[in-house]
């Protein structure tokens, strides 16, 4: 009830959340911590940094409808994934980059300077036999770089290590800008569940498990989703899950390590996940068109002193310290994180989009007001102000010093949180 009252107290002018608008650049990449993402529809964004003529498959010949995705490897494994267009004949291409930098800003800057090359690519046309547009990394593929034309639609799998971060940029060559689903095949052997397995054999007997009552077999046309929460070593973590989208107007709140849902075809849900001693995270999931059973793994990382992170989904209206409608989930995530970690103190840092100014006066003032807006939100919600500080940094360290479009301008208007202890 407190959560609902708090949400009512915050006025958002527009509750529409358009996923496709967010992921058009390296800096605004969708940060994935679950195994299935999408469908996500590109919005026609172009990114000149990943296009280069006559690169023999190393870059896109030209960009069309760009979507950026990033993810961190939870354990040493072999990375495979699949990009599945919702319109089977769509031509989906991709470039995969490894991030060897400490900061996203540094990685994206070097990418823009063409100092970082992709380690896997695939620009092939849809399969000439099946005429399907699926692509990705496969254990059976042999090529790391695949050029344009009727070539293999999958590239070679990649050996990866725990803690490594990768960036995937996807281009829908097709003019229709069709949506696609990203299936990330990171291996979690202890938690993979088949259609006929008993859950007690899959999950540790000592684990607290909450479940919606469902049949043990796939319901025709519907998808069974098994949500599991682990740390980076694959150990189960009891977490607070807030799930919306299952039923209109309903929020599911459970404390558990695993949860089961049944969704209709193409039904979308949002999952917020918090646990003591761990960084919060969230993911969006859309069920496929056909009946299936899916394990949705959420991996949490431990809280570390002086670690900073960008609250990517806290956004502001231009020129003022007023949250946009899409900020509500991230604000609630931050609130739950502070409640679940009562010994954690944070510094809230505000930034503005103000290219070319001397970073004084109005710029500093607005950035401070934006940081204070988050500070006040947490204070009103009951978080002690002794655990929080805030400051405005104006246009220091702008992600895009010379923003070229509205997406880059929005990325500059951001909030970062630093763990102080």
The average pLDDT across 48-58 equals 68
> pLDDT tier at 148 (50, 70, 90 boundaries)?
confident
Instruction: Quote the pLDDT of residue 37.
Output: 81
pLDDT in tens, 352-382: 877 767 767 787 888 898 899 899 889 888 8
> What kind and span of H or E run contains 30?
strand 30-32
- Torsion angle of C-alpha atoms 183, 234, 421, 208, degrees rounded to 10: 100
3-state secondary structure (DSSP) of residue 272:
strand
> pLDDT tier at 318 (50, 70, 90 boundaries)?
confident
Q: Check whether residue 315 and residue 360 sit in a common domain.
A: yes
Alpha-carbon distance of 42 to 315, in angstroms, equals: 20
3-state secondary structure (DSSP) of residue 278:
strand
Q: Which of 334, 396, 387 is nearest to 367 (CA)?
A: 396
Residue pair 326/317 in contact (Cβ under 8 Å)? The answer is: no
Residue 153 maps to a domain: yes
Residue pair 363/404 in contact (Cβ under 8 Å)? The answer is: no
Q: Of 259, 275, 299, which residue sits at a domain end? A: 299
Q: Check whether residue 76 and residue 108 sit in a common domain.
A: yes
Alpha-carbon distance of 255 to 275, in angstroms, equals: 9
Residue 208 maps to a domain: yes
pLDDT in tens, 75-97: 888 888 889 888 777 888 899 99
Q: How many structural domains are present in the chain?
A: 3
Pairing label, strands 346-350, 388-392: parallel
Residue 271 maps to a domain: yes
Alpha-carbon distance of 124 to 131, in angstroms, equals: 12
Q: Check whether residue 344 and residue 258 sit in a common domain.
A: no
Instruction: Quote the pLDDT of residue 220.
Output: 60
Residue 347 maps to a domain: yes
Pairing label, strands 30-32, 66-72: parallel
User: Distances from the Cα of 187 to the Cαs of 38, 238, 299, 367, in angstroms?
Assistant: 19, 20, 12, 42
Residue 49 maps to a domain: yes
Alpha-carbon distance of 216 to 197, in angstroms, equals: 8
Residue 1 maps to a domain: no
Enumerate residues 6+ apart whose C-beta is below 8 A from 315: 323, 324, 326, 327, 410, 413, 414
- Answer yes or no: is pLDDT of 103 > 90: no
- Answer yes or no: is pLDDT of 392 > 70: yes
- What is the 8-class DSSP label of residue 351? -
Alpha-carbon distance of 32 to 414, in angstroms, equals: 19
Alpha-carbon distance of 115 to 224, in angstroms, equals: 43
Residue 71 maps to a domain: yes
Q: Check whether residue 265 and residue 319 sit in a common domain.
A: no
What the block records as the tokens of 170 is 């996807």
Residue pair 201/61 in contact (Cβ under 8 Å)? The answer is: no
Q: Check whether residue 348 and residue 206 sit in a common domain.
A: no
Alpha-carbon distance of 141 to 82, in angstroms, equals: 13
Q: Check whether residue 96 and residue 140 sit in a common domain.
A: yes
pLDDT in tens, 115-143: 888 999 998 888 656 657 889 998 778 89
Q: Which of 415, 409, 390 is nearest to 318 (CA)?
A: 409
Q: Check whether residue 295 and residue 314 sit in a common domain.
A: no
3-state secondary structure (DSSP) of residue 315:
coil
Q: For residue 221, give its domain range.
A: 197-299
Other Cβ atoms closer than 10 A to 217: 11
Question: What's the mean pLDDT when you consider all of the chain?
Answer: 77
Enumerate residues 6+ apart whose C-beta is below 8 A from 51: 59, 60, 61, 62, 63
> pLDDT tier at 13 (50, 70, 90 boundaries)?
very low
Residue 63 maps to a domain: yes
The average pLDDT across 196-201 equals 33
Q: Check whether residue 24 and residue 142 sit in a common domain.
A: yes
CATH number of residue 162's parent domain:
2.60.120.380
Q: Of 137, 155, 184, which residue sits at a domain end? A: 184
Q: Check whether residue 291 and residue 314 sit in a common domain.
A: no
Alpha-carbon distance of 264 to 242, in angstroms, equals: 19
Other Cβ atoms closer than 10 A to 291: 16
CATH number of residue 231's parent domain:
2.60.40.10
pLDDT in tens, 200-250: 333 333 334 444 433 344 456 788 999 999 988 889 999 888 888 888 767
Length of the chain, in residues: 421
Alpha-carbon distance of 218 to 383, in angstroms, equals: 43
Other Cβ atoms closer than 10 A to 164: 15
The average pLDDT across 404-418 equals 81
> pLDDT tier at 179 (50, 70, 90 boundaries)?
confident
The average pLDDT across 6-17 equals 37
């Amino acid at each position: 009830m407190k959560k609902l009252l708090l949400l009512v107290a915050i006025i958002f002018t527009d509750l529409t959340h358009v996923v496709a608008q967010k992921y058009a650049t390296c800096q605004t990449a969708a940060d994935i911590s679950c195994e299935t993402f999408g469908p996500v529809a590109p919005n026609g964004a172009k990114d000149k940094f990943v296009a280069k003529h006559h690169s023999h498959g190393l870059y896109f010949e030209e960009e069309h409808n760009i979507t950026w995705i990033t993810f961190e490897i939870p354990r040493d494994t072999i990375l495979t994934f699949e990009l599945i267009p919702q319109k089977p004949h769509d031509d989906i291409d991709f470039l995969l980059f490894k991030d060897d930098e400490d900061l996203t800003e540094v990685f994206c800057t070097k990418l823009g300077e063409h100092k970082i090359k992709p380690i896997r690519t695939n620009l092939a046309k849809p399969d000439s036999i099946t005429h399907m547009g699926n692509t990705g990394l496969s254990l059976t593929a042999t090529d790391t770089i695949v050029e344009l034309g009727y070539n293999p639609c999958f590239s070679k799998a990649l050996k990866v290590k725990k803690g490594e971060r990768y960036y995937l940029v996807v281009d829908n060559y097709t003019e229709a800008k069709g949506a696609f689903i990203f299936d990330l095949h990171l291996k979690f052997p202890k938690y993979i569940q088949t259609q006929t397995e008993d859950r007690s054999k899959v999950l540790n007997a000592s684990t607290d498990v909450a479940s919606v009552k469902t049949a043990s077999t796939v319901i025709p046309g519907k998808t069974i989703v098994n949500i599991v929460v682990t740390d980076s070593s694959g150990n189960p973590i009891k977490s607070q899950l807030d799930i919306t989208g299952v039923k209109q107007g309903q929020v599911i709140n459970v404390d558990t390590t695993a949860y089961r849902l049944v969704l209709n075809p193409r039904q979308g849900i949002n999952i917020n996940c918090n646990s003591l001693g761990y960084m919060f995270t969230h993911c969006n999931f859309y069920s496929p068109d056909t009946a299936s059973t899916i394990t949705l793994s959420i991996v949490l990382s431990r809280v570390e002193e002086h670690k900073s992170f960008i609250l990517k989904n806290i956004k502001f209206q231009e020129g003022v310290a007023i949250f946009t409608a899409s900020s509500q989930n991230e604000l609630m995530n931050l609130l739950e994180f502070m409640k679940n970690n009562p010994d954690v103190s944070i510094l809230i840092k505000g930034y503005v989009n103000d290219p070319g100014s001397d970073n004084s006066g109005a710029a500093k003032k607005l950035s401070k007001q934006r940081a204070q807006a988050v500070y006040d939100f947490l204070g009103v919600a009951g978080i002690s102000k002794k655990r929080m500080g805030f400051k405005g940094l104006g246009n220091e360290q702008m992600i895009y010093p010379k923003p070229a479009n509205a997406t880059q301008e929005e990325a500059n208007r951001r909030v970062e949180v630093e763990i102080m202890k």
